[in-house]
Each structure stands twice: as structure tokens, then as C-alpha cells.
Amino acid sequence: MRVFSTRGYRAGSVQNIAAEAGISLSGLLHHFPSKEELLAEILAYRDEEAETYVGSGDDVRAESLAGLIELVAHNQRVPGLVELFCVLSAEATDPEHPAHDFVVERFARVRTAIAAAFRDAEVRGLLADGVDPDGAAREAVAVMDGLQLQWILEGRTFDMAARLRSHLARTVRISQLDR
Amino acid sequence: MRVFSTRGYRAGSVQNIAAEAGISLSGLLHHFPSKEELLAEILAYRDEEAETYVGSGDDVRAESLAGLIELVAHNQRVPGLVELFCVLSAEATDPEHPAHDFVVERFARVRTAIAAAFRDAEVRGLLADGVDPDGAAREAVAVMDGLQLQWILEGRTFDMAARLRSHLARTVRISQLDR
């Protein structure tokens, strides 16, 4: 994570990773046969973690929006992962990037889940007037990604979770969703 | 712009750029002595363009928020630049990146200008109750950056300007600011 997040996925090498981990290149390749495989493991690891806060599939409720805030609070404690995802998401906009399909699919999945949470809030009368659940989901994802970029560039000097909460509080009755 | 935005700034080479431009490497280096210089020219070019929509320094008014929407509408017509800035901003989170200081300074400058626009809106009674101008500015920048990322990943299938407008309309009386 440190190598990919500081050098970028493309520029970071398995040699760098072996050196940072203090093992031989052949030792690293024994566990992870390729760089793509290392990346896939990191991506899958983080998504599993995210689902413990937000749920997935039929588990998604309006409460998942409060879960997003908890997830961001958690992310603030693992800045290396935040940096990796920030750089990787941008690098993977290139259709040739090995994680392109994964990242495109992941953004669609996250947005769909958050839209479902907003729709649940709508049904339960917790959504502000005139808010479109799909648009609100797109915006919430944008705010999270954009705040991450600022947070890294500014040396982690503000509270991303508090800022996301203040964003969500304008579209949904967030205080009724805290767990 | 095309080379940097598809390969990333780090991975893109002056050789690639000379080839895409159909000139020799020495011809390219005659006009732009280094890769850093090429990048600096692109960054400066885009910032000058942005200021024609938003203003700068004492020119910034609440109307600059409507200008931001126009700027995003303009950006949608130059997707190569959007991709370049998206990838570059993320790559430049690395303190070793040659554009790091520029990007950090640029984010601070943009955020300060947008906060000034929100403060002008506040003074003129155009801001929604309880909105903090500095927080709103941070959020607006985040929405713009996050939407750009989604827009590229989704193959430019939605209207970023309309989405930004809908975001701003919840904090400021945007319809009174159109020029």
C-alpha cells in the first residue's frame, strides 16, 4: 500500500515492495505471483472492510448513510489506504490500466448502494424535499473522493467525517440515523 | 495534454509527446526545455482560462459561483484537460512530485476564492441558513473534483454542470446569480 500510494501503481514496482517489506523478490512472488494480484488483494481487502460499515445488497438501509460517515472516520486512521485509492482511482481512468474495469465496476456498485440508502430514507420520510436519490448518491461519492484529495494535499489538517456529515445533513435527517 | 492525461504525468515521456505532436524530440525540446516546463505551461494555461469564468482576487463575487458552473460546462468540452487534471492532482499528492507545490498552492487558492464568493453571498442574504462559507467552499471543490473522476470513469455520460448546479442550489440562491 505504501509503495503504490506514494509512487502510484504504475511507477511502483514489485522490487520496491519486496525491499519495503524486507523480503526477497522471489519470496514476495511466492505469495503474490504478480503486481496485479497484489493490487487485487488490496482492493478486495478494503471493500470488505467498507461493507462492514455500509452493508451490501439487501442490507443497505438509510442507516448506511451514517455508516458512510463512520467509514470515513475509520479511513482517517489509515491514510496510506486513502492515498492509494486516491491515486489509483485517478490512474485507473486510463482504459489500459489493469485495475480500470475493477474501478469502473466498483464506482457503479458504490453509487448504486448509496442510491438505495437514499431511497430508503425517502420512503421513510427522512429525505429533504426535492432531493433525487440517484443524484444525491452521485454527489455523496463525489464529496468523499474530493475531500480525500484535499485531505492528502493539505497534510490531513481537517476532519473529513465531520465535513461529510455536514454535507449529508442538508439532504437527509442524519441525526435520526446514527447507530 | 493527451500524453499526460492517458499515461499519467510520470509515465508519459517527452519522446511520447514529440511522437504525438509529429515533431522531433530536439524540436520539442527547443520550445520546451524540460517535461516540467511543458507541465507548467499546461497548468498556467488552464488557470488563466478558469479565471475568465470565476474572476480572481477582488473580482470574486457571489456571481463567481454561477461562473463555476459555466467553467464546468466549458470543461465538458475539453475532456483531455479534465483527465489530465484529475490524474495529475492525484499523482501530485506525492510530496516528491514536481507539481506537488503548485497543486497544493492551487487548491488553497481556489478554495480561498470560492470561500470569498460564498461570503459575498452571505453578506447579500443569498446563502442558506447555517451554511459556513469556508466549509461550503471546501465541499464545492470536492464535488467538482469527485464529479470529474466519475465523469471520466463513466465515459462522460452525465452532465457535471447540472449536477454542480443542483449541489450549489442547496446552499445558495443560484438562480439569482446567473449572468
Which residues, listed in sequence order, are joined to residue A172 by a DSSP beta bridge? A127
Residue A25 lies in a domain: no
Structural domain boundaries enclosing B118: 35-176
What pLDDT is stored for residue B11 in this prediction?
77
This prediction has a pTM of 0.89
pLDDT digits (tens, 9 = 90+) for B30-73: 999 888 888 878 888 888 888 999 998 889 999 999 999 999 99
Give which of A87, A84, A82 is closest to A38, Cα–Cα: A84
| Inter-chain residue contact A93 with B158, CB threshold 8 Å | no
Question: Does residue B49 lie in a domain region?
Answer: yes
CB atoms within 10 A of CB A24: 11
Is B89 an 8 Å CB contact of chain A? yes
User: Which pLDDT band, with edges at 50, 70 and 90, does A41 fall under?
Assistant: confident
Whether residue B61 is contained in a domain is answered as yes
Number of domains in chain A: 1
Q: How far apart are CA B81 and CA B4, in angstroms?
A: 9
> Which CATH number fits the domain that encloses residue A113?
1.10.357.10
Is residue A16 situated within a structural domain? no
Residue in A143, A148, A153 with CA at minimum distance from that of residue B136: A143
CA nearest to A148 within chain B: B142
Tell whether the model's pLDDT for residue A114 goes beyond 90: yes
- Cβ distance B170 to A166 less than 8 Å, yes or no, reads no
Can you give the pLDDT at residue B47? Answer: 85
